[in-house]
Amino acid sequence: MLDIRFVRENPELVRENIRKKFQDFKLPLVDEVIALDTQRRAAIGEGDSLRASRNTLSKQVGVLMGQAKKDPGKQAEADEVKAQVAAQAKRLAELEVEEARLDEEIRSRMLTLPQLLDPTVPIGKDDSENVEVERFGEPLTPDFEVPYHTDIMEAFDGIDLDAARRVAGNGFYYLLGDIARLHEAVLAYARDFMIDKGFTYCIPPFMIHGNVVEGVMSFPEMDAMMYKIEGEDLYLIGTSEHSMIGRYIDQILPLDSLPQTLTSYSPCFRKEKGAHGIEERGVYRIHQFEKQEMIVVCKPEDSKAWYEKLWKNSVELFRSLDIPVRQLECCSGDLADLKCKSCDIEAWSPRQQKYFEVCSCSNLGDAQARRLRIRYKDEAGKAQLCHTLNNTCVAPPRMLIAFLENNLQADGSVKIPVKLRPYMGNKEVMTPKGK
């Protein structure tokens, strides 16, 4: 969400930003917002002066009523002042309705205006124009065939999708045995990896109120992702980022408490309504998964540096598990409306001979902070908006695909990288059933 004053003073910049995101249909919103804002300020001005007048007159009534106790003649005077206030009351009531209406009209439009892009974001229409920035590790091609990831898991008796479909429908899984253990091992390893980076481990609520949801994501995302609890003002989180950033709602943080750097664990629930849908097989895109996340709340001038640190953490983590990755920068058209800048870390798939998304790192600038009123006291003691960032540490089901494909050996066993062994009972290798 943008600052209404910024829109008022820089309408052309806002329009330019909309064009860069190929959302020309939103261009009329700029003038609409500015016109509504003018009306709103006029209504507030008139309303405030009526309220001021009411306050003054009411005080007079108080004084006159006091005097009337001794001098009953003053009662008529008091009644007359009361009548004056009453005469203004109707207009004030109208203005209050008008103010509320205009607030809502403006807000609904402001919520759909995209955040200003960071100047370094490449311009492009959609995800096909995202830009590969750098590769880390050799994308290897083994001289044996790498099976589909669920087939690898089945070789370990590690997955039961049939039962999951019967119990919960498509898009869920049972993980079993070594595969389930590997799932937890990866999470635990990632947790400790981030703790070693100085982040604070956190387990947040897995359900949040609607106002928090509105604060952390845009409407299209919300509609496509969030599950709502029937009859309650509660949504299942789509990522722990939602409850982690929501934690700071309406807070003014002391200067010395920034940056807030946390790594959170949670299950994630997603409808995955929209373009891709749930794939028929596999665990690439599902309704429920678990994730270790990292989030940062910092001063505006620090957010760019934190963005760089965050995505590099993901690269380091994946490389420590012998998985080749690359950084893919989101182009303007593929960037969610709340984000200033974002990149994916993609892991190499030896089976598909291509990279696929495993992490997503984003700098939201002050967009979430403005919606949720997350501020800090600056050096001068003034409240300023913070910046917020988030990045995936690991999201196991998807990470498991990368892990299994890249660590699979010709005999069907899967080697366990040194770093992960303590979390897997010090096993060096996972052996499939019957071997």
Which residues in this chain contact RNA in the complex, by CB under 7 A?
4-5, 41, 44-45, 47-49, 51-52, 54-59, 61-62, 65-66, 82, 85-86, 89, 252, 375, 377, 381-383
**Which residues neighbour 412 within 8 Å (Cβ) at sequence distance 6 or greater?**
155, 432, 435
Q: What's the min distance (Å) between Cβ of 163 and RNA? A: 25
Q: Residues 395, 293: contact at Cβ < 8 Å?
A: no
Estimate to the nearest angstrom the gap between the alpha carbon of 267 and the chain centroid: 15
- String of DSSP letters for 336-376: -TT-SEEEEEEEEETTTTEEEEEEEEEE-TTHHHHHHT-EE
User: What is the 3-class SS of 47-99, one letter each residue?
Assistant: HHHHHHHHHHHHHHHHHHHHHHHHCCCHHHHHHHHHHHHHHHHHHHHHHHHHH
If the CB atoms of residues 1 and 347 are measured against RNA, the closer one turns out to be: 1
CB-neighbour burial class of residue 182 (10 A; exposed 0-12, middle 13-18, buried 19+): buried
Other C-beta atoms within 10 Å of 69: how many?
A: 9
CB of 103 to RNA, least distance (A): 9
Contacts of 141 (CB under 8 A, 6+ apart): 350, 353
CA end-to-end span of the chain:
57
Cβ at position 432, least distance to RNA in Å: 35
- The CB-of-92 to RNA minimum distance in angstroms stands at 9
Minimum CB distance to RNA smaller for 195 or for 252: 252
**Closer of 179 and 208 to RNA (Cβ):** 208
Q: How many CB atoms lie within 10 A of CB 43?
A: 20
CB of residue 99 to RNA, shortest distance in Å = 9
DSSP one-letter code for 118 = P
Residue closer to RNA by CB (options 176, 202) is 202
Instruction: Say how far apart CA 285 and CA 287 lie, in whole Å.
Output: 7
Which CB, 82 or 197, lies closer to RNA? 82
Task: Give the amino acid at 178.
Answer: D
Minimum CB separation of residue 195 from RNA in Å reads 24
CA distance 208 to 234: 5
Whole-number minimum distance, CB 268 to RNA, in Å? 20
Q: Please say which residue, 56 or 353, places its beta carbon nearer to RNA.
A: 56
Question: Token pair for residue 427?
Answer: 């096993």
User: CB-wise, 60 or 431, nearer to RNA?
Assistant: 60
For residue 48, the minimal CB distance to RNA (Å) is 4
Q: How far is the CB of 240 from RNA (least distance, A)?
A: 18
Q: Among residues 66 and 422, whose Cβ is nearest to RNA?
A: 66
| Cα 395 to Cα 409: distance, rounded to the nearest angstrom | 23
Residue 19: CB minimum distance to RNA, A: 26
Q: Which is nearer to RNA, 358 or 369 (CB)?
A: 369
Q: How far is the CB of 108 from RNA (least distance, A)?
A: 17
Find, among 355, 313, 429, the residue nearest to 140 by Cα.
Answer: 355
Residue with Cβ nearer RNA (9 or 316) = 9
The answer to whether the CB of 117 falls within 8 A of the CB of 20 is: yes
Looking at beta carbons only, is 53 or 112 nearer to RNA?
53
**Buried-state track 73-98, b at ≥16 Cβ within 10 A, e below 16:** ebeebbeebbeebeeeeeebeebeeb
